Structure 1
Amino acid sequence: MRYRAMIADDYEAAYQLWENTAGMNLSQADSREEILRYLERNPGMSQVCEDKDGQLAGTVMCGHDGRRGYMYHVAVSGACRGKGAGREMVSRSLKALREAGIAKCHLLVIEGNTLGRSFWSGTGWQERDGLVLFSQNTDL
């Protein structure tokens, strides 16, 4: 596997991976324009991996708000799972957050995504109790 920072040219392959990843929820916020804006705002924090043929095999969207880090769309293609790609990309993103002075990172997993929940709990992340997420569109 080859690991590197995610760039604008990765968008189409990344979106295709996300569409084919069980438990992944996509929305208008995942449009090309929105993802490129996120990458520009958080340079070098999001990661991808490529397989031996140079095909995109995994993604981690990562950024911060100046206080806490956040990860989104952590995905690895079925053919490349179980080989440490997810762990390596997450590790690289956490390192970028540390270098930016960010001490803690959060992520969201859809409640019914058992594969995702298993990955995160198996890699040392703690599932939080007692939190309720509220959301609202800004176009009131």
Structure 2
Amino acid sequence: MIKKMTIDDYEKLFEMWQSTPNMGLRSLDDSKEGISLFLKRNPNTNFVAYDDNKLIGAILSGHDGRRGYIYHTVVLPEYRRQGIATNLVDMAVKSLQEEGITRVCLNVMETNEQGKKFWIDRGWEKKDFLGFYSKSITNKENLPLFSM
């Protein structure tokens, strides 16, 4: 069963993220408070998949009014290759389209070969001509990554 994500899913979700290689979690953004803010800003674009009461997959997505973004797409290894991730992506993209978004972007860690293949197999294009730049703008210096 796939449903909209709520903050009630956080503990199970965070546990899944921590056990997934190449997730790239940050203590501020991916904390319960950070995800709560994200869900409040994007209440209709984030989804979780359950098998009975077991969380088996999730996708975070949102937008800034111009571009959509996908983050932290994950399915437990024993549930992969069953269409769950594809269904999560389709639901996220459809929800972004319903909010007037016409382009969606995402990042995949270069070390995540399985993730890169997943996106390419579904028609997503790597934009080699774009540079990805990032800067933390918090007052907190050297925020730690969660352990992965």
Please give the TM-score of this superposition, normalised by the length of structure 2. 0.90
Structure 1 gaps of 5+ residues are none
- 1:1-140 to 2 correspondences below 5 Å: 2-28=1-27, 29-51=29-51, 53-139=52-138
Structure 2 gaps of 5+ residues are 140-148
Cα distance per residue 1:87-119 (max 9 Å; x no partner):
001100101000000001000001111010010
Please give the TM-score of this superposition, normalised by the length of structure 1. 0.95
Q: Partners in 2 of 1:112 and 1:79 — Cα distance?
A: 21
SS of residue paired to 1:27: coil
Name which of structure 1's ranges 93-102 and 130-139 shifts more when overlaid on structure 2: 130-139
Q: CA RMSD, aligned part only?
A: 0.9
Shift of 1:8: 0.6
Q: Partners in 2 of 1:6 and 1:80 — Cα distance?
A: 19
Shift of 1:139: 3.3
Shift of 1:23: 1.4
SS of residue paired to 1:30: coil
Q: Partners in 2 of 1:131 and 1:88 — Cα distance?
A: 28
Amino acid in structure 2 at the alignment position of 1:55? K
Q: Partners in 2 of 1:84 and 1:22 — Cα distance?
A: 20
Shift of 1:77: 0.4
- Deviating beyond 3 angstroms after TM superposition, the runs of 4 or more aligned structure 1 residues are none
Q: Partners in 2 of 1:5 and 1:78 — Cα distance?
A: 21
Shift of 1:20: 1.1
SS of residue paired to 1:127: coil
% identity of equivalent residues = 38
Amino acid in structure 2 at the alignment position of 1:98? Q
Q: Partners in 2 of 1:126 and 1:25 — Cα distance?
A: 21
Q: Partners in 1 of 2:42 and 2:26 — Cα distance?
A: 20
Q: Counterpart in 1 of 2:143?
A: none
Shift of 1:123: 1.1
Aligned residues: 138
Q: Partners in 2 of 1:134 and 1:67 — Cα distance?
A: 19
